[in-house]
Amino acid sequence: MRRHFYVSLACFLICLSARVDLAAAVVAAPMVMLKVGIVEGVHFGSGQTGVAFLGVPYAAPPVGDLRWKPPQSVRPWTGMRRAMKFGAACPQLPAGWLPYIGWNEDCLYLNVWTTHLYVGPRLPVIVYFHGGSNTTGYSQLDPLGPALSRLGVVVVSANYRLGPMGFFAHPALTAESPHHSSGNYGLLDQLEVLKWVRENISRLGGDPNRITVMGQSAGSVDICLLMASPMSAGLFQRAIMESGDCQSVLDEDIRTPLPYNFIAGTGEGAGERLAGDLGVANGPEALRKLRSIPVTEILKSWSQDRQVHFDAIVDGWVLPEQPAKIYAEGKELQIPVLVGSNADEATVFGHNDVKTVDQYKQYLLNDTGKYTDQEFQAYPVATDADVPEQYLRIQNDTFAYGARSMARAMTSAGRKAYLYCVTFSETGKRTHLGAYHGEELRFLSDSFPSDWEHSDDDKMLGNLMRTYWTQFARTGDPNAPGLPAWTRYDAHSDQCLELGRMIGVRPVAPQLKIIENIMKQVFATTATMSLSSEAKTSDREALAEN
């Protein structure tokens, strides 16, 4: 269904648990020899067992001629490199939901938390990718590292290129690439993070053969995309996906327009439009001119034309085909997944641009095209007064549909999937929001806003979720002695595990099956379109060769 702007609400969590004990670091600063040099970290928490290495470079700065290119290797350094503070955020526009901390184009840094640096067996690893629509966010946004690492895992978080710096496709870039591809630089950054982890994590107490990727919102979407990419082979063994997937909808194509899921154009088309806004026409000097423009000017121009969207695209290399097709054919990475959504995801989005019946029908038309009538029958409105409730309902159900679809795809491929639904509604001034987008991160990070009204229920849920998540990273199965049983997803029983004030198995909402049936028709229609487009592309390439 709709390609949402996957926006994380984790701003309340910023750095609360990630503060480091600098005084302790002065006493006994931890040091590690990485593949390219020695880093000096800091301790966190009340003792000396918690160790963090912050702002560690995993790729060369993507500046100058390296702008809009795949990440390049870090140059080895001599001596000691201090890793005691977070690296710069990647370039982005300010967002009302997110504390603005500034940024730098030199932003490809990661962070590591561990409580077993020098002793004991190697621990499972969780690599976390933040949310923020792939246009905003940064690695220190969600303080998961301290809370989860205390349960016997090594936690890694990382920055990756965003918006027009991370997902900019353009014909000149495609021509320059040996893979005949452009865009998806943010995904390539994430792949580079995983390569760094595979090569270095054993030096930090982690097991390179037990790597779990974990993401929320856009980070979860990206993990789904990575699983669809042949470039991910061998880089991770499990996935945790919170409120975001890629295979239940269509993704923008690099040069083929698709009239569904709010896809207004093509990847290269968006890049050409931004280049035109910047005064750069196609031609032999286009790339040199684009790479010489200050990032501030690029962001400013983009801010004045927000009809131009930058996100992951089907580019023929990183994403060789539509993820929906890859998953339907069982060609995705064959690993166990833990996947789910929150009951009231969209209550915090603040969308108010759909208020009338006519606007609502246009919204559905942009979503499902010629299948709009079916969607309208599933979510009908009679008057303008009906629109807000149904508009919110369809957005909430879209998240749940995506999570269920992911669980069904992996089960169909013979892999274990564990499906959850968060229903916890806090008391106090946010009660009306229900189980909103990003709420689960509060429990996983054990970090709450100062006005949160605590109870035994949230303490219990937090302990439970952190144990489920880390146990899954440990074994590929979230179950452990003393926990409520979480059975793997089964398409026939079609149930999820409710995580709220009540813990237990419940059936998924019947509306999700209606959405699934509509999207099957959309996929069948676009499959024919893709075949036609591929034939035209082959003809053009043959003519070019001759």
Task: Give the pair of three-digit tokens for residue 25.
Answer: 């670091």
Question: Does the annotation count 439 as an active-site position?
Answer: no
Q: Give yes or no for a contact between 26 and 1, defined as CB atoms under 8 angstroms apart.
A: no
Query: What does each C-alpha distance from 470 to 82, 219, 270, 339 come to in angstroms?
Result: 29, 18, 40, 14
Relative to beta strand 503-507, strand 495-499 is antiparallel
Nearest to 409 by CA among 484, 520, 283, 303: 520
How far is 194 from 331, CA to CA, in rounded Å? 20
- Angle, nearest 10°, between helix axes 511-545 and 387-412? 70
Torsion, Cα of 207, 209, 215, 218 (10° steps):
130
Beta bridge partners of 110: 56, 158
How far is 502 from 423, CA to CA, in rounded Å? 8
Catalytic residue among 252, 272, 345, 440: 345
Residues 6+ apart with CB under 8 A from 418: 336, 337, 338, 339, 407, 472, 477, 478, 486, 488, 489, 497
Catalytic residue among 4, 43, 309, 437: 437
SS3 262: coil
How far is 219 from 139, CA to CA, in rounded Å? 11
Q: Give yes or no for a contact between 32 and 80, defined as CB atoms under 8 angstroms apart.
A: no
Catalytic residue among 8, 182, 217, 248: 217
Nearest to 468 by CA among 491, 497, 490, 493: 497
SS3 55: strand
Q: Give yes or no for a contact between 69 and 60, defined as CB atoms under 8 angstroms apart.
A: no
Task: Give the pair of three-digit tokens for residue 364.
Answer: 């559905």
Nearest to 436 by CA among 500, 512, 515: 500
Task: Give the pair of three-digit tokens for residue 92.
Answer: 């982005």
DSSP letters for 96-129: TTS------S---EEEEEES-SSSSSPEEEEEEE
Residues 6+ apart with CB under 8 A from 162: 90, 91, 92, 132, 134, 135, 136, 137, 186
How far is 201 from 209, CA to CA, in rounded Å? 10
Question: Does the annotation count 450 as an active-site position?
Answer: no
Torsion, Cα of 9, 12, 13, 17 (10° steps):
180
Owner of token pair 């750095």: 15
How far is 505 from 503, CA to CA, in rounded Å? 7
Question: Does the annotation count 345 as an active-site position?
Answer: yes
Catalytic residues: 217, 345, 437
